[in-house]
Amino acid sequence: MVGVAPIERTTSAMPERDRLHFLLLNIGHFLDHMFTLIFATVAALALSRDWGLSYSDLLKYAIPGFVAFGVFSYPAGWLADKWSREGMMVAFFIGIGIVAIVTGFARTPLELGIGLFVIGMFAAIYHPVGLAIVVAKWKNTGMRIAVNGVWGNFGVASAALITGYMIDNGGWRAAFIAPGVFAIIVGIAYAWLRRREIVSDSQRQSATATPAPVALAPHYKALLLRVAAIVFVTTAISSIIFQSTTFALPKIFDERLHGIGTILAVWLNAAGVPGRADVATVIGSLAFVVFAVASMAQLVVGSLLDRFGPRPVFMTLAAIQLVFFAAMPGVQNWAALAVALGFMLGAFGQIPINDYMIGRMAQGEARARIYAIRYVVSFTALAAALPLIAVVYERWGFDTLFQILALTAFAILIAVSLLPRQLPSPVAVST
């Protein structure tokens, strides 16, 4: 998370421009998560057949991309501070669009892996830069972050839906190329809308004064360290759960809902739905429904955090995940769909909690640095989930993966139980 510029006051003369800016930032969050998960559906539903590679063999080519998604977050934020946040957003849109198009022409797994790595580099820009703009620009930050977060969640949800449809109606290459073209168009629109700010950004940011550090009371420092340890531990574990479920769900549904997918595909084609509805489209659509419904949990959790604090909310969500992960082994068809919705509600619901605690406990410039480190930890843990999925799936199957995820949810439950019942506001040492 980069340092924030002074809040811009939206004038009555430019409300439409302000709304358009926020819309484009939200689209950016949508695209960011969608691009990182295109390959999950492509590998599950197309490449294992077209290239004759197993699902676990294909996953290793996605790992470098998710590593890049994590480790390049901090450099992206640093460069935005030194140059221009708005300019970095243009680089995000156009860069990720161009690389996605090139990736769509990959001829070998190695070329595809290189493309996914560069996609991860550009995807790393959004969270430290785009979210910093959202926090700095508008006064009603809480609701803006919630809305922006839902757009990102729908990017996760739509990856399977859009990719599945593209596979059925244009091939897996179109699943990269079409969104890439759209991202470039959005980038051009963003550059035009924010052209003046891009020119003046570096001067304005360099002129921003750095506030003097605040000395904190000793008891608050100890509490801060305790909460920070819990935040970063649960961030890493939650990210592994989130990546394991969102990345593997299309493949899980392909195995456990294939009969339902075949029946629904026949029904949709008989009903005259535009385009050719095949199993990939149906499986992608079912994954989209689960992701979309579960993503709305973030808004509910946001309101509960203000009422009850993070400890009871976090513990409830961890318990939900534990129960549904433990219930998933051996489940098929509609029951599998219902159980998957249950653990995805927990996975999506956890997203805003650690950010909420960081915002409450960290102050000023420390908050910006901690947010940046949080994204590096989170996205690096995302990459660690892929070898886990590949090894467990190849040797034991998804039932064992769900048992492991149930144990990780239990670990989160234990860690969160150590949180204080209420997070205090920072207490400065009187001088």
pLDDT tens-digit map of 375-422: 788 877 777 787 888 888 888 999 999 999 999 999 999 999 988 877
Could you give the CA distance from residue 161 to residue 171 in angstroms, rounded to a whole number?
14
pLDDT tens-digit map of 237-274: 988 898 888 888 888 888 888 788 778 877 877 776 65
Is pLDDT at 293 greater than 80 in this prediction? yes
Residue 430 maps to a domain: no
Average pLDDT value for residue range 274-284? 71
Residue 431 maps to a domain: no
pLDDT tens-digit map of 76-127: 888 887 788 899 999 999 999 999 999 999 999 999 999 999 999 999 999 8
Q: What pLDDT score does 369 carry?
A: 58
- Give the helix/strand (H/E) hosting 126: helix 126-137
Q: What pLDDT score does 3 carry?
A: 38
Average pLDDT value for residue range 202-226? 61
Is pLDDT at 367 greater than 60 in this prediction? no
Please report, for the domain that includes residue 407, its CATH number. Answer: 1.20.1250.20
Return the sign of the alpha-carbon dihedral for residues 274, 278, 282, 287.
Answer: negative
Q: Which two tokens stand for residue 15?
A: 């409300």
Q: In angstroms, how far is the first alpha carbon of the chain from the final one?
A: 30
Strand partners of residue 216: 428
- Percent of the chain residues past pLDDT 70, beyond the cut: 83
Residue 70 maps to a domain: yes
- 118 Cβ neighbours under 8 A, 6+ residues apart: 68, 99, 103
Pick from 74-78, 190-194, 219-223, 344-348: least confident: 219-223
Residue 203: pLDDT band (50, 70, 90) is low
Pick from 85-89, 178-182, 207-211, 293-297: least confident: 207-211
Q: Which DSSP symbol is given to 422? A: S
Residue 7: pLDDT band (50, 70, 90) is very low
Residue 210: pLDDT band (50, 70, 90) is low
Could you give the CA distance from residue 106 to residue 102 in angstroms, rounded to a whole number?
7
The residue among 39, 76, 63 whose CA lies nearest residue 117 is: 63
Q: What pLDDT score does 318 carry?
A: 93
Residue 4 maps to a domain: no
Q: What pLDDT score does 92 carry?
A: 97
Q: Which two tokens stand for residue 257?
A: 């809902």
Residue 162 maps to a domain: yes
Average pLDDT over all residues of the chain: 82
Residue 428 maps to a domain: no
The residue among 146, 60, 127, 58 whose CA lies nearest residue 89 is: 127
Residue 427 maps to a domain: no
Parent domain of 203? 16-207+216-416
Count of domains forming the chain: 1
Give the CA dihedral 288, 42, 50, 166, nearest 10 degrees: 60
C-alpha distance from residue 259 to each of 144, 189, 282 (Å): 41, 43, 11
Q: What pLDDT score does 431 carry?
A: 42
The residue among 344, 377, 343 whose CA lies nearest residue 358 is: 377
Average pLDDT value for residue range 134-161? 76
Q: Which DSSP symbol is given to 331? A: -
Q: Are 187 and 31 in contact (CB under 8 A)?
A: no
Residue 222 maps to a domain: yes
